[in-house]
Amino acid sequence: MKRAWLLFFATLLSNGQVLTLNDAVAQALKENRNVQISALDVAKANEVTAETKTTRLPQLTTYILGGESLTPIDFTIPKGALGVYPNVGPIPAQNASINAPQTFNAFIYASAAQPITQFRKIGLAIRESRVGEEMAAESLRQKKQDTAHQVTEAYYQIVQTQTQIASAQESLKYLTEPAALTDRNLAEQTVLKSDSLNVKAKLSQQRYQLLVLQDTLASQKEALNRLLGRDLKTDFSVAPVFYSIAVLDLKIVKWGQVPDLSSPSAPNPDRKGGDV
């Protein structure tokens, strides 16, 4: 078992970036798309509450109208054009000239109004908006918790698969040498051909199992990268975990206080002593 762990650490060094569980959870809570959508919903609920509060304030309205005639106004009303009446005479009594210069004229209107009679209704609407804020915040908290559990589960799966790959690679090395030795003995006719075929079959089966594990690891890494909100092709390795899942579930309740599970010195109540 110690040899498998040594191979596992060698695999980590060869694969470049090592992603710890703490870093994975922290990045997921920051970059996960579903978490970001929930955070936007919280911000949207806050804006709705702020908008509702503004309806209690006085509303100021201002109108400004301005205009100018296209041409000067200049015309004459002939005498008696509006009629001739007894005891009054013609209207107008003489020719009347009307002139208006071509100038700019403006009209300004301003008003202030406050919905005093609607204060109770507006207050109820504000309370409703605050309930919406609390619901959005609770949804965000739930989304973060679900995301943290999904990241933890995916991380453990990758750790298990990487360990299996290290063991499979070691088994493949052990089978390669007997296969070569069996071929030499077969050439010298000291072993049966069935023995050589049996060793080659085991070697091929081990290589196939290794390919299956590598494909599984690639799929698991893509799933974790999706949870972390980054490029699916980002390559990384995970650190070995020396902590029980039961303890992890208790620790991740408080965000930002996830224990460093990649440290061999991390306490493990399930481990009763001795080497791993």
- pLDDT tens for 164-201 read 898 888 888 877 766 666 666 666 666 666 766 677 77
Tokens describing residue 10: 């060698």
- Is pLDDT of 249 > 80? no
- Is pLDDT of 264 > 80? no
Express each pLDDT in 205-221 by its tens digit.
888 888 999 999 999 99
Most confident of 100-109, 120-129, 250-259: 120-129
Contact between 224 and 246 under an 8 Å Cβ cutoff? The reply is: no
| The pLDDT value given to residue 225 | 92
Confidence of residue 274 (pLDDT cuts 50, 70, 90): very low
Q: What is the mean pLDDT of residues 43-53?
A: 93
Q: How far apart are CA 61 and CA 28, in angstroms?
A: 48
More confident call, 80 vs 216: 216
Q: What is the mean pLDDT of residues 110-120?
A: 89
Question: What amino acid occupies position 217?
Answer: L
Q: How far apart are CA 133 and CA 251, in angstroms?
A: 27
CB neighbour class for 76 (10 Å; exposed up to 12, middle 13-18, buried from 19): exposed
| The pLDDT value given to residue 78 | 86
Nearest alpha-carbon partner for 151 in 143, 140, 162: 143
- Cα angle 242, 261, 138 (rounded to 5 degrees) comes to 130
Domains of the chain: residue spans and CATH: 2-53+119-251 (1.20.1600.10)
Other CB atoms within a 10 A radius of the CB of residue 155 amount to 25
Q: How far apart are CA 214 and CA 222, in angstroms?
A: 12
- Is pLDDT of 96 > 90? no
| The pLDDT value given to residue 188 | 62
- Is pLDDT of 16 > 60? no
More confident call, 238 vs 255: 238
Q: What is the mean pLDDT of residues 71-100?
A: 82
Nearest alpha-carbon partner for 204 in 166, 161, 164, 175: 175
Confidence of residue 152 (pLDDT cuts 50, 70, 90): very high
- Cα-based torsion angle of the residue sequence 268, 270, 272, 276 in order, rounded to the nearest 10 degrees: -70
Other CB atoms within a 10 A radius of the CB of residue 220 amount to 19
Whole-number percent of the chain with pLDDT over 90: 35
- Is pLDDT of 247 > 50? no
| The pLDDT value given to residue 143 | 94
- Is pLDDT of 151 > 90? yes
Q: How far apart are CA 58 and CA 206, in angstroms?
A: 79
The number of C-alpha atoms within 13 Å of 230 and in the hemisphere containing its C-beta is 13
| Region of residue 229 (left: phi > 0; alpha: psi -120 to 50; beta: else) | left
- Is pLDDT of 258 > 60? no
Q: How far apart are CA 201 and CA 195, in angstroms?
A: 10
| The pLDDT value given to residue 195 | 66
Q: How far apart are CA 205 and CA 199, in angstroms?
A: 10
Q: What share of the chain is helix, strand, coil (3-state, %, to 5)?
A: 60, 15, 30
Q: Which residues 6+ apart lie within 8 Å of 37 measured at CB?
A: none
- Averaged pLDDT score across all residues of the chain: 78
Query: pTM, whole model, 2 decimals?
Result: 0.60
